[in-house]
Amino acid sequence: MGGGGGENRVDNHDDDDDDWELAAGAALADVTLVLVGKVGSGKSATANSILGDEAFESKCSYAGVTQTCQKKSTTVQDGCLIRTINVIDTPGLFDMDIKAEDVRREIVKCMDMAKDGIHAMLMVFSATSRFSCEDEKTIETLKSFFGDKILDHMILVFTRGDEVGGETSWKNMLSDSAPTYLQDILKLFENRVVLFENKTSSTQDRQAQRKKLLDAVDFVVSSNHGKPFSNQLFTQIQEVHHRQKEANSEVYSSMQETDSYISLITKMVEEKLNGTILRMEQQLLKEQEARLDIQNEMTKAILRSEEDIRRLRLSLEKAEQESNNAREENKRFRESEKASKEQEKQTEAEIQKLKEKMEKDREEREEEIRRLRDDLEKEREERQKQSGCIIL
Ligand SMILES: Nc1nc2c(ncn2[C@@H]2O[C@H](COP(=O)(O)OP(=O)(O)OP(=O)(O)O)[C@@H](O)[C@H]2O)c(=O)[nH]1
Ligand SMILES: [Mg+2]
């Protein structure tokens, strides 16, 4: 596998990590791709689209169709380079209902098939299914099992592009409704997200989507300087192959030792898986605790806001009462003002009446006086007449 890309490899460093260097813009002649994802997500159909052949069984089913890891290869002409694409199809390894020992066996088998390392891990999702917690956990489990570095080799493949109305409406769908986790992952995998229409009958479309995927693979390969993903487990597997080779050439024939290596690797995978499960359980526990904390905080906040609402309602009622009182007071004041105006008017009328009465009395008295004076005058004149002299 990886060795086939010798013409693109420049082994100019002793350091194991820097051992791989890909000439800028060059494509690796030999790449190994592993397809992972949930049961029925379209792994085998995508693998077939990449291979351009119905190499793997792919069908509608209530149960998992692919039961064990399988590897097929194809060669493609890329300019003047003939490239070998090795495709490893897997069962839904991280589905809840798969037995731990099957997972262990299949992981060992898969790593054995990709013994020189994985150039790209294609994480397959169906574009028509809801992106669930389980999908989130699959990425997290892979990260936990293989280490964070696996993310550098990951490509996200969404199948059933034909059912979501093609690339544009799929992108709209992602920006409209993708959950936060998926949005973050999509941002992280910017140049490494591909939509597949595995059912398309158009040769042109098939070639175009395959080209798009290989471009993403080349992007991943060159981002990792041509170095495939590998870890201690892969090194152990390579060691087994090395020993087997020696055994076959009859220089070294201890098959027993090879068997013990395989059981050692299986044990290592088991330990890693157990560690992964433990980490996932711990993470789950942490998430549950965090959720509980949030719930508690929310309950406290609700209680606080209920108390605030109660206080606000009370002060609103008080303010309403005060405003009612003020209104009443105002009303009373206006009524008393009206009453006093009435009173004032009445008093004025009485004064007027009194004035008129006094005027009338004065006029009557003056009349009386005039009359008395006239009577007196008459009497005096009468008396003068009688006495014949004028009294001055
Ligand atoms: N319309 C449409 N159907 C697809 C597409 N990709 C896969 N399918 C269908 O989805 C169903 C499941 O596909 P598989 O390739 O068997 O899925 P898988 O992930 O390999 O399933 P397991 O092996 O059971 O884990 C099949 O009926 C496929 O024809 C696609 O792009 N468009
Ligand atoms: Mg399958």
CB 120 within 8 A of CB 31: yes
User: What's the DSSP call for residue 121?
Assistant: E
Range 248-277 burial, b when 16+ CB lie within 10 A, else e: eeeeeeeeeebeebbeebeeebbebbeebe
Rounded average pLDDT over 222-243: 81
73: exposed, middle or buried (Cβ count in 10 Å: 0-12, 13-18, 19+): middle
Residue 337: CB atoms within 10 A of its CB come to 10
**Between 249 and 101, whose confidence is greater?**
101
Mean pLDDT computed over every residue of the chain: 84
pLDDT at 271: 79
Question: Is the confidence at residue 194, as pLDDT, over 70?
Answer: yes
| CA atoms of 296 and 220, how far apart (whole Å) | 44
The CA 40 to ligand 2 mean position distance, Å, reads 7
Pick the ligand that lies closest to the CA of residue 59: 1
Rounded average pLDDT over 49-68: 92
DSSP string, 190-206: TT-EEE--TT---HHHH
pLDDT at 15: 39
**Between 220 and 391, whose confidence is greater?**
220
The CA 200 to ligand 2 mean position distance, Å, reads 18
**Residue with the nearest Cα to atom 28 of ligand 1?**
59
| CA atoms of 53 and 62, how far apart (whole Å) | 24
39 lines ligand 1 (CB under 6 A): yes
Residue 273 pLDDT class (50, 70, 90 cuts): confident
Rounded average pLDDT over 255-263: 63
Least confident of 7-11, 234-238, 347-351, 366-370: 7-11
| CA atoms of 231 and 143, how far apart (whole Å) | 13
pLDDT at 42: 96
The CA 268 to ligand 1 mean position distance, Å, reads 32
Q: Which amino acid is at 341?
A: K
Question: Nearest 5 degrees, angle CA 26-CA 118-CA 38?
Answer: 125
59 lines ligand 1 (CB under 6 A): yes
CB 159 within 8 A of CB 126: yes
% of residues, the chain, pLDDT over 90? 47
Six-digit token string for 106:
């299949």
Residue 281: CB atoms within 10 A of its CB come to 10
Question: Nearest 5 degrees, angle CA 147-CA 74-CA 123?
Answer: 30
Does the structural domain 2-228 have CATH classification 3.40.50.300?
Answer: yes
Ligand 1 atom with the smallest distance to the CA of 57 is 16
Best residue among 41, 49, 56, 58 to mutate for probing ligand 1, ranked by most atoms within 8 Å of CB: 58
Residue 237 pLDDT class (50, 70, 90 cuts): confident
Residue 335 pLDDT class (50, 70, 90 cuts): very high
Question: Is the confidence at residue 230, as pLDDT, over 90?
Answer: no
Range 283-309 burial, b when 16+ CB lie within 10 A, else e: eeeeeeeeeeeeeeeeeeeeeeeeeee
Dihedral sign for Cα 172, 176, 182, 183, please: positive
Question: Is the confidence at residue 153, as pLDDT, over 60?
Answer: yes
% of residues, the chain, pLDDT over 70? 87
Which range is most confident: 22-36, 172-186, 268-282?
A: 172-186
